[in-house]
Structure 1
Amino acid sequence: MQLKRIELEGFKSFADRTVIPVQRGLTGIVGPNGCGKSNVVDALLWVMGERSAKALRADAMEDVIFKGAEGRAPAPYAVVEVILSDTRGQVVEAGAELAVGRRLFRTGESEFLVQGRKVRRKDVRDLLMDTGLGVRGYMVLAQGKIDAVLAANPAERRSVFEEAAGISKYKARKLEAQRKLEGAAADLARVEDVLGEVARNVRSLRYQAGKVRRFLELRDRYRQVRVEVALAEAARLRADEERLRAQAGDLEQRVTALRSEREQAEARLRSLRREEETLRQRHEGLREEAARAKERAAGLEERSRGLEARAGELEHRHGAECQRLQELQRLESEQLAAVHALEEERGRQEAAHAHVDAALTAAEAAFQGARADFQTARNRMEELRRGLLDALHERTLAQNALTAAAERRSAAEGGCAALLRRRSDLAAETASVAAELAAADSELAAAAESLSHRESRAGELAETAAHLRAELETFTEAAGTARQRGAEARTRLLTLQSVEEELAGLPAQVRAALRRLPEGVAGLALAGVRVPEPWDRLLENLLGRMQHALWADRRARRGALRGGCFDLFFPSGGGPAPVHVAAARPLRALLEGDPLRCDALCSRLGEVYCVDSADEAARLAEAHPGALFLSRDGELHGRGYARVGLLHGEDAAGLLARRNAAEAAQSALQSAEAEDAAASAAAGKARAALTAVEEQLRSLEGDLREALAARERAEARVQDCGRRTRALRDETRTLEHEQEQLRAAAEGAAGEEAAAAAQRDGAEARRLRQMVDLEHAEAQASEREQALEQAQAALQEARLCGERYAQELRHRRERCGEARQQVERHAEERRRLERETGSLLERVAALRGDAEAARAEVRALLGARAGVEQRIAAGARELELAAGAVSELQARAEGEGARLETLLSERQELALQLQRTELARQEIVRGVTDEFQQPVEDLARGLGIAAAAAPDADAYAALAAEAAELREKLAGIGPVNLEAVAELEQQEQRAAFLERERDDLQAARANLLATIEDLDNRCRARFLETFEGVQQHFEGIFRRLFRGGKAELSLGGGADALDAGIEIHVRPPGKELRSINLLSGGERTLTALALLLAVFRSRPSPFCLLDEVDAALDDANVERFLDVLHDFTGDTQFLVVTHNKLTMARCERLFGVTMRRAGVSLVVAVELSEIPDTPAAAGGPGASRLRGGDLPEDALAAARFSGQDTPATA
Structure 2
Amino acid sequence: MYLKSLTLKGFKSFASATTLKFEPGICAVVGPNGSGKSNVVDALAWVMGEQGAKNLRGGKMEDVIFAGAGDRKPLGRAEVTLTIDNSDGALPIEYTEVSVTRRMFRDGGGEYEINGHKARLMDIQELLSDSGIGREMHVIVGQGRLSQILESRPEDRRAFIEEAAGVLKHRRRKEKAQRKLVGMQANLDRLSDLTAELGKQLKPLARQAEAARKAATIQSEVRDARLRIAGYQIHSLASSLKDAQSHHDSIAEKLEEVTEQLEEATGVQLEAEDALGKISPEAEKSQQLWFELSSLAERVSATQRIATDRAKNFSEVRYSGPDPDELAEKAARADAEYAEVEETVDILSERLESIQDNVAELEERAQRADREHLAQVRAIADRREGIVRLLTLESQQREHIVAAEAELERLREAESDIAAQARSRDAEHKDCQTQAQEARSLIEPLSQSRDAALNESRAADSRLEQLREQQSDIDKSISRLESKIETLESHRMTRNAVEQWEKLQSFYGVDRCIIPQRGIEKAIAAALGPVAEALVGETTTAELQALDIESLARHIVIAPGEDHDWRLATDLPHYASWLLDYVELAPEVSSTIVQILADVVLVDSYEHGREVVNHDPRLRAVCVDGTMWGHGWVAVGSAERSAVEIAAEIDQAEKDLEVARLQRVELAGTLNGAHQAADEARVRSAQAQAVCREQEIVVENFSRRVEAVSYEAEARKQELRRHALRVQEAQDRLSQLRLLWEETSDRLSRVEEDNSEEEPSTSERDEAAAALSHMRSMEVEARLSLRTAQDKAEHIRGRGDGLRRQAEYERQARARHDQAVARQRRKAEIASVVVQQCLVVAERVDDALARATQWKENAIAQRGVISARVSAAKDTVSALRKNANRLTEKSHAAELSLGQAQVRLEEAHEKIVEQLGIAISDLMRDYTPHEGFDIGAQRVRLKNAEKDLNALGKVNPLALEEFKALEERYEFLATQLADVEQARRDLHGVINDVDGKILQLFTDAWKDVEAEFPRVFATLFPGGEGRLVLTEPHDMLTTGIEVEARPPGKRVKRLSLLSGGEKSLTALAMLVAIFRARPSPFYVMDEVEAALDDVNLRRLIALFQELRDDSQLIVITHQKPTMDVANVLYGVTMRGDGITRVISQRMTPDVTKLPESQPAE
Shorter-chain TM range is 0.3 to 0.5
TM-score, normalization by structure 2: 0.47
- Taking structure 1 as the reference length, the TM-score comes to 0.46
User: Highest Rg: 1 or 2?
Assistant: 2
